[in-house]
Amino acid sequence: MTIFVFISSLLGLMALGVPVAFALIGCGITMMFYLGVTDPQIVVQNMWDGANSFPLLAVPFFMLAGEFMNAGGMTRRIILMAMSWVGHIRGGLGYVAVLAAVIMASLSGSAVADTAALAAVLVPMMRKAGYNVNRSCGLIACGGIIAPVIPPSIAMILYGVTGGVSITKLFMAGIVPGVLMGVAIMLAWRWSIGKDNVQAEPKRTMPERIKATRESLWALALPLVIVGGLKFGVFTPTEAAVIAAVYSLLVGLLVYREIKPAQVYDLFYRAAETTAVIMFLVSAAGVSAWLITTANIPQQLAELVQPMMDNKMLLTFALMVLVLLVGTALDFTPTVLIMTPVLMPVLKQAGIDPVYFGVLFIMNNAIGLVTPPVGTVLNVVCGVAKIPMSGAIKGVMPFMIAQTIVMFLLVAFPQIVMWPLQMMLR
């Protein structure tokens, strides 16, 4: 009955059009009345505790870094570098999109920002070259959702803070799965354009390739600094976020000189707006998380899945299906904040590594960003490309299926995630 009250109050408020953050608070208050706990101080205290976390300081700094990268020309140079190497291959602009998406994912950690930047540059070029626009937009959208999986990842920070999991380990564990997501959609792209009559970009000379690569080195150095610093314990994920923001600002101001001093305030303001939305959701989720624990919902869920507790692979598969269904109805951040406190005790009871599960969980939620009806990233690419949602849904299907196959492949073979993590942390 407690689970029913929790789900019905949350979904009911959202169905009435209440914003997710307020729906989470309303759900918490409903649970309080159901449990006979009516002290309003609980709401305020748990909202404060939900956001009062040092690791969460990484969120505004990574958001700021993303703004500086896009405004400072780092993103554009990455796309040009990728185009110089693979643009001339048949279907080359698609490979450029995926390669650029993987590199950009290691810079910003924001699926929406990466997708918007890629679509703005590549969609007009792909349209002019005769590519199917719907399919091209679907590819770019699925390339964009690699960002939450490859470090630095804002989603992994939220999961790590909410679930009490090492963010450094999550970052290291996400590298190989993120690359596999990119490889999967490249293969799907090669298969899907088999009979299309498209124009290839002119082949660049080696001096042109070297020049494009040299110009992008400042951008390419950042993920190496972040991953290397985390691996060798030079700094924490929060400190890495500060380094990323300062580095990208200095490169944009002093090296590429595409950020003007007058722009800096607006970039700070945009990053602050996005951060405020995320942090308010985190605060609101703090109320629900406390009530979830108080109402013993995780134990009730554990009892429901008790027949699968002895089979880790089967339980992980079932939880992935559950999260996949939830992701079609809820946006990324609310799903992470709501589901993590519910699932974490079940994982511990079943003996499933929370780092391993966290990577799959984030992948699953990332795929939810391109599934209707919510599909935030799909909406972004539709807006940039000016195409109807129905066309984007059709175009995204082969790539979404490819990434879903990768996710369930990792369920069947967890060593694909865990072995590289163990090697990196030696």
- Is the distance from CB of 215 to CB of 151 less than 8 angstroms? no
The pLDDT value recorded for residue 157 is: 95
> What contacts 24+ positions apart, CB below 8 Å, involve 374-377?
374/328, 374/329, 374/330, 374/331, 376/111, 376/112, 376/331, 376/332, 377/111, 377/112, 377/115, 377/141, 377/144, 377/145
From residue 153, alpha-carbon distances to 37, 160, 275, 383, 394 in Å are 36, 11, 14, 24, 28
**Are the beta carbons of 326 and 339 closer than 8 angstroms?**
yes
Give the span between the Cα atoms of 282 and 60, in whole angstroms.
13
Q: What is the pLDDT of residues 82-140, one digit of tens each?
A: 999 998 998 999 999 999 999 999 887 789 888 998 999 999 999 999 999 999 999 99
What is residue 162's predicted lDDT score, i.e. its pLDDT? 92
Ordered by start, the domain boundaries in the chain are 53-424
Give whichever of 46-55, 170-179, 218-227 has the largest mean pLDDT.
170-179
Comparing C-alpha atoms, which of 278, 329, 361, 366 is closest to residue 53? Answer: 278
pLDDT tens digits for 282-323? 998 888 888 787 878 787 888 888 889 889 999 999 999 999
Between 99-103, 197-201, 367-371, 377-381, the lowest mean confidence (pLDDT) is in 197-201
* Total count of residues recorded for the chain: 426
N-terminal to C-terminal alpha carbon distance within the chain: 47
Residue whose C-alpha is closest to residue 333's, from 283, 379, 293, 292: 283
Indicate the burial class of 38 (C-beta count within 10 angstroms; 0-12, 13-18, 19 or more). exposed
How much is the pLDDT for 399? 97
Instruction: Evaluate if residue 425 carries a pLDDT over 90.
Output: no
Angstrom distance (rounded) from CA 385 to CA 91: 19
How many angstroms separate the CA atoms of 426 and 422, rounded?
A: 6
- What's the burial of 417, exposed, middle or buried (CB within 10 Å: 0-12/13-18/19+)? buried
- Highest mean pLDDT among 70-74, 197-201, 368-372, 402-406 belongs to 402-406
Distance of CA 1 to the CA centre of its chain: 33
**Nearest-angstrom CA–CA distance, 279 and 274:** 9
Give the pLDDT confidence of 12-58 residue by residue, as tens digits: 888 888 888 898 888 888 888 888 877 778 888 888 888 888 889 89
Q: What is the mean pLDDT of the chain?
A: 90
Residue 198: what pLDDT?
82
| 246 class by beta-carbon count within 10 Å (0-12 exposed, 13-18 middle, 19+ buried) | middle
Put simply, whether the predicted model's pTM sits higher than 0.85 gets the answer yes
Distance of CA 87 to the CA centre of its chain: 26
The pLDDT score that the predictor gives to residue 376 is 87
Q: What is the mean pLDDT of residues 209-237?
A: 91
With a cut of 70, say whether residue 1 has pLDDT above it. no
User: In 3-state terms, the chain is what percent helix, strand and coil (to 5)?
Assistant: 80, 0, 20
Alpha helices in 145-200 (DSSP H): 154-163, 167-173, 175-192
